[in-house]
Amino acid sequence: MICAGLSLGIASAAYAGHAQARGRAADAAPVAHKLSLRSAAAIIQDQETGEILYGKNASTVAPIASITKLMTAMVVLDAGLDLQETITISGEDMDSLRGTHSRLKPGASLSRDELLRVALMASENRAAAALGRTYPGGFEALVRAMNHKARMLGMNDSHFGDATGLSSANVSSAEDLAKLVRAAHRYELIRSYTTLTEHEVHVAGRSLAYRNTNRLVANGSWNIGLSKTGFTNDAGRCLVLQAKLAERRVIIVLLDSWGKLSRIGDANRIRAWLEANARPQIGAVHKSAQKSRKPAPA
């Protein structure tokens, strides 16, 4: 009886020790399901290794709003155009699709460089439209160049229809936009202009103050190397960025986040998750990262 009791006690102690060890291992293991985002689609990627740290509906094709302007900027810069050339805003640059507001009135003149700056940091639509209008060959040539570059980058889920992103013909997936961010990050001007906190331009004797559309850029606790926001009713609120978090450079894509501050909240949740799980494993990808492809508009 004593022997049996002793054996039972040893077995119980061994089981308890095993359970505690298993519990510690579970606590230490990075588990993606602990990250809950409000964005309909998302991806987190290690910029250096390409490792996917988290995905949610990452292949779903959807409108991307002003994230489009990153491709516009790359194509304009690729063309080697004179950045100091003066461009005058015209009636052609006005948004007839959604009636969005702009402080750049027809007749306002800025350099191509200034148009790039306010298009990227403040998502100024007439600035982006003017960049497209003055591209060699005009608007149609710009769109062809955008779609060609998308193919070259392997963005096979993507289609571009204008320079601004106002058209719902501008579609992509979180997976593809991670490729876009990676490519755009190679351009020094894009890195610089998308991370400006504020900028002032002088037009027709008056000053116009612009602020970055991503409030995280002005947050000193964030180390952001590239940022772009987007919003239309069809696309919801979108955000892409490159940042250094938890001692690693990551690319973050957040699409269709409803609620004025939800994309910022998601970015902060991602930061906390990465810091809590210092080295997430590639096998811990969110189960909702399912293939859900829609044909891109012709």
| DSSP string across 181-245 | HHHHTT-HHHHHHHT-SEEEEEETTEEEEEE-S-GGGG-TT--EEEEEEEEETTTEEEEEEEEEE
Same domain, 117 and 14: no
Say what percent of the chain tops pLDDT 90.
77
Q: What are phi and psi of 267, to 5 degrees?
A: -60, -40
**pLDDT for res 20:** 43
The whole-angstrom separation of Cα 172 and Cα 232 is: 14
Catalytic residue, from 56, 69, 149, 179: name it: 69
pLDDT tens profile 201-239: 999 889 999 999 999 999 999 999 999 999 999 999 999
Q: What angle do CA 72, 158, 288 make, to 5 degrees?
A: 125
Centroid of chain to Cα 132: 21
Higher-pLDDT residue of 119, 1: 119
pLDDT tens profile 88-143: 999 999 987 776 789 999 999 999 999 999 999 999 999 999 999 999 999 999 99
Instruction: Please give the structure tokens belonging to residue 95.
Output: 């948004």
Same domain, 134 and 209: yes
Catalytic residue, from 39, 123, 257, 262: name it: 123
Residue 221 is among the residues annotated as catalytic for this protein: no
Write out the residue range of the structural domain in which residue 13 sits: 1-30
**pLDDT for res 31:** 45
Domain count, the chain: 2
Catalytic residue, from 39, 56, 66, 262: name it: 66
Same domain, 136 and 210: yes
Residue 123 is among the residues annotated as catalytic for this protein: yes
Same domain, 226 and 116: yes
Same domain, 3 and 40: no
Residue closest to 270 by CA, chosen among 25, 45, 24, 29:
45
Same domain, 212 and 153: yes
7: confidence class by pLDDT, cuts 50, 70, 90: very low
Is residue 20 included in any domain, yes or no? yes
Mean pLDDT of the chain: 87
Same domain, 106 and 227: yes
E runs forming strands in 65-197: 86-88, 109-111, 171-172
Residue 66 is among the residues annotated as catalytic for this protein: yes
Return all residues near 165 (Cβ < 8 A) that are at least 6 apart.
64, 65, 66, 67, 68, 69, 128, 230, 232, 235
| pTM over 0.75, yes/no | yes
Same domain, 163 and 204: yes
278: confidence class by pLDDT, cuts 50, 70, 90: confident
Which CATH number goes with the domain that contains 69? 3.40.710.10
Place of tokens 């450079």: 249
Same domain, 37 and 135: yes
Is residue 285 included in any domain, yes or no? no
Is residue 288 included in any domain, yes or no? no
